[in-house]
Structure 1
Amino acid sequence: MKTQTLKSVFCIALLTILSIVLVSFTKSKGEIKETIVNKTTRHTLHKSIDVNGLNIFYREAGDTSKPTILLLHGYPTSSHMFRNLITDLSVRYHVLAPDYPGFGKSDQPTIKEFEYTFDNMSTIIEGFLEKKNVKKYSIYLMDYGAPIGFRIAAKYPKRIESLIVQNGNAYDEGLKDFWIPIKKYWNDYTVENGKSLEGFHSPDGLKWQYTHGVQDVEKISPDNWHIDLQHLTRPENNEIQLAMFYDYRTNVPLYPEWQQYFKDHQPPTLIVWGKNDYIFPADGAYPYKRDLKNLDFHLLDTGHFALEEKGDEIANYILKFLKKNNIK
């Protein structure tokens, strides 16, 4: 009888110790556990929506009751560039990533039907947000996403909760050597000058954009440029890309307006910039410090498509930045 009692006491003590250890472990690993659980339950949905008569493809994930993060992609890619970041952010946020007309899986109206300009692209994104009934949001601005997003932010400053800038330009200092042939095209709009730019969206040109300036080329999946080629090789898409190159000139005169928006409204801003980028070098990142007071600034040892090599690091910076600014 005494032996049984001792065994019972021992079992109870052992269970108590295990419970304490388990609770302690759960608390210490709570954030990791939450991330793992949510990653297995939060699926990215692949949808389409009619915006101004165009079928716009987009990726969506996360709880719609949470703050929204709008991810705006660059040239020559699509929302595919955010495939991993969407999963990382949707643990705590509602995430939207649309494809622009002529990019990714969205409609590609002909040049006669649709004027491929940054003004029109921003109008489409405005319409997309309206259709999704999104009133407040943070914006991730990368490459082409910067002039599209800054147009919207300057127009509707009260809707913007924060800015996340990744190799997206708003200053003259950011237009360096890469832009010399493009500026020539702006100043002398000829077929010959346009022809010299077509190499940027050739297979070799695409590969260069993804791999130049990275630390380890073997980490960069060739799926990236092969997927981009699916829309870049559609009939008339070459002409669409040249039209966007030419229209980029309209962004430069707006830089002072966007800088004034920064000064006047002081949106919380995170800079996560691939410092080895030849297209938008770090020279374009530093000037944000002049105009923004609430600024987190990080230069990363990688290239133009920083998410491909530094995605986990960028996701962590974003989550910490948003939490610090009470966007949760």
Structure 2
Amino acid sequence: MKTLTTFAATIVVAAIVPTAAFANGLTQNPSKTHVPVYHRTIEIEGLDIFYREAGAKNAPTILLLHGFPTSSHMFRDLIPLLADKFHVVAPDYPGYGNSSMPSVDEYDYTFDNLAGVVEKFTEKVGLKKYSLYLMDYGAPIGFRLATKHPERIESLIIQNGNAYDEGIDNDFWEPIKEYWKDRKAVNKGLDNPFWINVKKAHNNDNLAVESALAFLVTLDATKWQYTNGVRDVKTISPDAWDHVQSRLDRAGNGSIQLQMLYDYGSNPPLYPDWQAYFRKHQPRTLIVWGKNDQIFPADGAYPYRRDLEHTELHLLDTGHFALEEDGAQIADHIRRFLSVTN
């Protein structure tokens, strides 16, 4: 097992300074042409689904699918950089961002169901063909769409999103894998440097796995996700985790996130199907990966090249939420890559 840097040593509270995105001009379009970003809500399966949309609808479409624990907010700076040339659409899943948040008793939070909502969303807003930007939870949601409707997928953009066993073979995932087997597991998978520090924070050496995983919805964990592995923490705006944490702190949301962590266990059994899709349909694929990510390390980026013949891989010297520090660079890669594709 690979050893993760302990969260206690890597959680750093950044000073309140402009974001790297702002400093690099990410709020401006490369063409210098202002393209408005619209914030809309549409009803899907009785739920209000919030989404951001920009660009001409007859332009090539990019569907941006966010990760945990964020929302379309993670694309707030990327969208304006792409909207002069592309039709860009970014929904919030149920339970995330500004979409409806029914309780776990009212809604079955599974990746199958979230993928179903996104599928119906694409159909209702009229997305017939699109490129997929997949990050974290967005990967298993997007790959479900791709395997069901390969004819709709023009290309893939993968940023710290996993489809191979190598990508979850690290300390971070040990207790989560035990959680998939037994939701009442005690102290299983927690005996490694990363999770030992979590137990210390709980002052409990015999900790239930679910209690340990509840750490992942706390402010410390959210800050860690945004700051771990970055080059310069002072460029990461607290606005990012402040926005996320306000959603996580809503009554009942912690239970939603634990349910989604549990259901993440439904994804590895589908890896062979997704890999078969890669081999059969060979979508052109751009991989822009924060190589210092301790949740989805770079080990998960390389295997795509086993199955995809037309793959461009860029390992970025940043962490899990690579857009926060390298958004301008990622936008440049996307614009160039999709210009060739389209």
The TM-score normalised by the length of structure 1 is 0.87
User: Which of residues 104, 121, 140 in structure 1 aligns to 2:114?
Assistant: 121
- Please list the CA deviations of residues 132-187 of structure 1 after superposition, one character each: whole Å capped at 9, or x if unmatched: 01110000000000000000001100100000000000000000221011112112
**Distance in structure 2 (CA, Å) of the matches to 1:195 and 1:86:** 37
Q: Does 1:37 align with 2:32?
A: yes
Q: Does 1:290 align with 2:306?
A: yes
Cα shift at 1:199: 1.0
What residue in structure 2 maps to residue 98 of structure 1?
Answer: 91
SS of equivalent to 1:37: coil
Cα shift at 1:37: 3.4
Q: Does 1:308 align with 2:327?
A: no
Q: Does 1:213 align with 2:229?
A: yes
- Please list the CA deviations of residues 118-140 of structure 1 after superposition, one character each: whole Å capped at 9, or x if unmatched: 00000000010011011100000
Q: Does 1:174 align with 2:190?
A: no
Aligned-partner residue type, residue 35 of structure 1? P
What residue in structure 1 maps to residue 69 of structure 2?
Answer: 76
**Distance in structure 1 (CA, Å) of the matches to 2:243 and 2:152:** 33
Cα shift at 1:107: 0.3
Aligned-partner residue type, residue 281 of structure 2? H
Aligned-partner residue type, residue 177 of structure 1? D
Cα shift at 1:34: 8.1
- Contact map agreement 2:94 2:100 (CA 8 A) in 1: yes
Q: Which protein is richer in helix relative to its size?
A: 1
Number of residues paired by the alignment? 292
Cα shift at 1:36: 4.0
The TM-score normalised by the length of structure 2 is 0.84
Aligned-partner residue type, residue 133 of structure 2? Y
SS of equivalent to 1:91: coil
What residue in structure 2 maps to residue 135 of structure 1?
Answer: 128
**Distance in structure 2 (CA, Å) of the matches to 1:50 and 1:305:** 29
RMSD between aligned alpha carbons? 1.2
Aligned-partner residue type, residue 243 of structure 1? Q
SS of equivalent to 1:35: coil
1:1-328 equivalences under 5 Å are 35-38=30-33, 40=34, 42-175=35-168, 176-190=170-184, 192-325=208-341, 327=342
Aligned-partner residue type, residue 178 of structure 2? K
- Contact map agreement 2:222 2:241 (CA 8 A) in 1: yes
Cα shift at 1:251: 0.2
What residue in structure 2 maps to residue 12 of structure 1?
Answer: none
Greater relative contact order (CA < 8 Å, ≥ 6 in sequence): 2
Aligned-partner residue type, residue 83 of structure 1? R
Listed as ranges, the gaps of 5+ residues in structure 1 are 1-32
Cα shift at 1:108: 0.3
Distance change >3 Å, CA 263–CA 76, structure 1 → 2: same
- Please list the CA deviations of residues 95-124 of structure 1 after superposition, one character each: whole Å capped at 9, or x if unmatched: 000000000000001212210000000000
**Distance in structure 2 (CA, Å) of the matches to 1:306 and 1:177:** 21
SS of equivalent to 2:100: coil
**Distance in structure 2 (CA, Å) of the matches to 1:177 and 1:158:** 37
SS of equivalent to 2:172: helix
SS of equivalent to 2:32: helix
Aligned-partner residue type, residue 43 of structure 1? P
**Distance in structure 2 (CA, Å) of the matches to 1:82 and 1:168:** 15
Aligned-partner residue type, residue 179 of structure 1? W
Identity within the alignment, %:
59
